[in-house]
Structure 1
Amino acid sequence: MKDADQKYKRKNLENKNTRGVNMRKSWKWALCLGVVSLLLLGGCGKEKTEPVDLVLVTDGSEVASDAVYQSAWNGLAQYGDESGLKYEASVPAGRTTEDYENTIKEAAQKGASVIVCVGTSMSRAVYDAQRDWKDVRFLLLEAEPVSESGRSRLRGNTESLEIDVSEAGYLAGYAAVQAGYTHLGYIGQKNEENGTKYGTGYALGAEAAAADLGLGENSITLDYTYRKSSSVSPSYLEKIKSWYGEGGQILFSDGASYQNVLGAAASAAGGALIANGGVEEYANAVLKVRLDYGTAVYNALKEMKQKDFEGGKIVTRGVTDQEISLEWNQDAVPYFTEDQYRALCAKFSAEDFSIPDGDALSSPDQYKLSCVSVQKVK
């Protein structure tokens, strides 16, 4: 009986040991499975981002909706394709400086070597980013990096690129007078530097054309108005139509968003229009000024991708760089020819040619305008 009890106890102990071993094995398997599951879930949670070399960061606008962005994108894409570099456009979630900074940060973290931005709305974001991402090169179009306090600074990894819009205005004014128009109009934004630059070039171009044609004093009328905002009410359409009805012949603007209204008014009144860039086409646009940001960006990228690139400067482009051009409807303006256009473009290469700064429309006497009579209208 005693032997039987001992056998029973040994059997019981063996069973307990076996259960303990099995339980330890089960826990080990469960632990392994848990770790594997966490690793798999962790892998699923992270999106694999493809590295990119060139990035265009917008101000929240879609590329296709804005002529400047579309042109800049074309130049970036051309350079990327030719160089075998990956590129993309990034549209921020919102239109605040924080949104822009976050989008620039994402581009830098993807490996971007050059980030292209456009306009004064990006100035603050680029000011900080050029300091935070010293290995990234920044190309800022039509603006300079500016701090929150208003301090401007271009670091060695940043270039500011501007197209001299006064030259675009000069082309428009010269061609309009050469085409036979004698009553010109101009609308620009009062608080924007480009508003006065376009207007000054427009007036001086018209003056030069009138002088070349041998026209007399005050033979050209130039009506102008500066608006405080680019937004317009429907009633403004009627005001523009009235201007045409009172003798106005051809209208030019600084390319702000109200150009659509000008196009509609010109078509409704049967007047002529000088279109300024834009993705739209207007039936009554007999002349069109083009600012080729695509070529400007392409040329800038070629320089910025060089090892010996030196930033910290403002680069100005224009007619001689073939980044400002003029198109026209030959049927509508038969008096303006290719030969005249080539001769006009050649002027910009002359050493003694320059378009002075300032506002020739507000202060015409300071610019010695004689053939052009400038009138301010409300």
Structure 2
Amino acid sequence: MKKFLALALTAVLLLSACLVGCGKKETGVDEIPDNMTSSDGKYEIAFVTDVGSLKDQSFNQGTWEGVKKYASDNSKSYKYYQPANGDKATDDDRFNAMKAAADAGAKIIVCAGYLQETALRRAAETFPEVKFVFIDGYQIGFKNVAPISFQEEQSGYLAGYAAVKEGYTKLGFSGGGGGENPACCRFGYGFVQGANDAAKAGGKTVEMNYSWLYGNSFSASSELQTMLNGWYTNGTEVVFACGGSMCQSAFAAAAANDGVVIGVDVDQSSQSDTVVTSAMKGLTESVVYALGKFYAGEFDALGDVSTVLGAANDAVGLPTATWSFKKFSVKDYDALLKSMKDGKVTVDNDYTKLAADLFANVKLNIVE
């Protein structure tokens, strides 16, 4: 039976400090170097990346910044490891990255992305004395593995609702992982639900292109940019680009067509003037929290427990200080978020239900 850890007041205080309200990065994170040299040649805290680049301005980078933030603030050595073969990395490649980290003295290894599961099972058994944090993960039966996941459907909902309330009627969703990545699927499904509810409240119907094409590697590509160019040319006003460095293709297509983009995972407003808002989740903050529990000798509270964070923990939301909405107000957003926290607004997370005719107020075009 799954166990769910409500992080209660501690996490609420930690995550609410800056995530969804201020929309700004933790002070100084950009100035912390990605590479450091430890005095003894060992590195206590390790990070194993997901597919895509370390500095993807999204999932990997947001997770990595949590590692750097905690290590820098607490004088710990740290190092990142990227599995061999890049976007074509195998389970063996991922395990070898984890092994390299353990061999280099890692006491705790942060692993990003659900694709780490098979390698993580092997590593957790091979290195029982090492602790692992499984971001976007789930229980895999090892007490030395702490899975942390998010209610991305809530963040996606907020973005979809806000976009329609702002007046956009032609939307797009471009997701990574080929429709197999649970986090991206939840983001997308929530986005449609939010758009539908806002359209219903306004007595109108909106249109949405919805696609997983060209996103398997979570990378920018000419093919993806060409598809999104076509969307914008044919009337799409805003695209939710959900998948690591895929955002670069969306930014380019939007800039060429006077369109806008909704970013993902972290506040991406500094990456492009086309970003109208971002559907965020507390990657940096959750990593800092988990590392803090480890160094406080309290990792057992997280080990093999499914920690799921959402609006109730202030762990998902939109960055109000940096968005460029003109009609959808912060007051409106705060009221919507409060209703979500109070349980008055609920968002379904069973993305397998998604179908073109599921929502009355969204004309959904599933692009395959």
TM-score by length of 2: 0.75
Supply the AA of the counterpart residue of 1:307: G
In the other structure, the counterpart of 2:233 is: 245
Distance 1:125-1:280 versus aligned 2 partners, 3 A rule: farther
Mean CA deviation greater in 306-315 or 235-244: 235-244
Distance 1:372-1:69 versus aligned 2 partners, 3 A rule: closer
Residues 230 and 257 in structure 1, CA contact (< 8 A), matched pair in contact too: no
Residues 161 and 191 in structure 2, CA contact (< 8 A), matched pair in contact too: yes
In the other structure, the counterpart of 2:311 is: 319
What are the within-5 Å matches in structure 2 for residues 95-114 of structure 1?
Answer: 95-114=89-108
Supply the AA of the counterpart residue of 2:70: Y
In the other structure, the counterpart of 2:242 is: 254
Q: Distance in 2 between matches of 1:331 and 1:59?
A: 28
In the other structure, the counterpart of 1:138 is: 132
In the other structure, the counterpart of 2:12 is: none
Q: Distance in 1 between matches of 2:82 and 2:260?
A: 36
Q: Distance in 1 between matches of 2:238 and 2:117?
A: 35
Q: Secondary structure of the equivalent of 2:288?
A: helix
Q: Distance in 2 between matches of 1:69 and 1:80?
A: 17
Q: Distance in 1 between matches of 2:233 and 2:104?
A: 57
Residues 356 and 365 in structure 2, CA contact (< 8 A), matched pair in contact too: no
Q: Secondary structure of the equivalent of 2:297?
A: coil
In the other structure, the counterpart of 1:5 is: none
The match for 1:297 among 287, 295, 298 is 287
1:56 equivalent in alignment to 2:47: yes
In the other structure, the counterpart of 2:29 is: none
What are the within-5 Å matches in structure 2 for residues 187-336 of structure 1?
Answer: 187-188=174-175, 189-211=178-200, 214-217=201-204, 219-227=205-213, 229-230=215-216, 234=222, 237-277=225-265, 281-310=271-300, 311-327=303-319, 332-336=324-328
Please give the root-mean-square deviation of Cα atoms over the aligned residues, in Å. 3.1
Once the two structures are superposed, what CA deviation does each residue of 1:50-90 show, in whole Å capped at 9, x if it has no partner? 34322212358663345323222222232233434333323
Q: Distance in 1 between matches of 2:323 and 2:84?
A: 46
Supply the AA of the counterpart residue of 1:283: D
The Cα of 1:371 is off from its aligned counterpart by: 2.9
1:88 equivalent in alignment to 2:63: no
- The percentage of counterpart residues that share the same residue type is 25
The Cα of 1:256 is off from its aligned counterpart by: 4.7
Supply the AA of the counterpart residue of 2:228: I
Q: Secondary structure of the equivalent of 2:43?
A: coil
Q: Distance in 1 between matches of 2:106 and 2:221?
A: 42
Distance 1:100-1:199 versus aligned 2 partners, 3 A rule: closer
Q: Secondary structure of the equivalent of 1:227?
A: coil
Q: Secondary structure of the equivalent of 2:80?
A: strand
Supply the AA of the counterpart residue of 1:160: P
Q: Secondary structure of the equivalent of 2:341?
A: coil
The Cα of 1:175 is off from its aligned counterpart by: 1.0
Q: Distance in 1 between matches of 2:50 and 2:173?
A: 28
Supply the AA of the counterpart residue of 2:157: Y
In the other structure, the counterpart of 1:14 is: none
Q: Secondary structure of the equivalent of 1:63?
A: coil
Q: Which runs of 5+ in 2 are unaligned?
A: 1-38
What are the within-5 Å matches in structure 2 for residues 157-168 of structure 1?
Answer: 157-168=144-155
Q: Distance in 1 between matches of 2:58 and 2:292?
A: 22
Residues 185 and 251 in structure 1, CA contact (< 8 A), matched pair in contact too: yes
Distance 1:244-1:50 versus aligned 2 partners, 3 A rule: closer
In the other structure, the counterpart of 1:128 is: 122
Distance 1:353-1:302 versus aligned 2 partners, 3 A rule: farther
1:342 equivalent in alignment to 2:334: yes
Mean CA deviation greater in 278-287 or 230-239: 230-239
TM-score by length of 1: 0.73
In the other structure, the counterpart of 1:20 is: none
Residues 170 and 201 in structure 1, CA contact (< 8 A), matched pair in contact too: yes
Greater fraction of residues in helix: 1
Residues 170 and 206 in structure 2, CA contact (< 8 A), matched pair in contact too: yes
Once the two structures are superposed, what CA deviation does each residue of 1:79-132 show, in whole Å capped at 9, x if it has no partner? 233434333323455544444334433433444321111123422221111112
Q: Distance in 1 between matches of 2:236 and 2:329?
A: 23
Distance 1:331-1:99 versus aligned 2 partners, 3 A rule: closer
Q: Distance in 2 between matches of 1:352 and 1:237?
A: 38
Mean CA deviation greater in 350-359 or 160-169: 350-359
Q: Which runs of 5+ in 1 are unaligned?
A: 1-47, 145-151
- Larger RCO, structure (CA 8 Å, separation 6 or more): 2
Distance 1:351-1:109 versus aligned 2 partners, 3 A rule: same
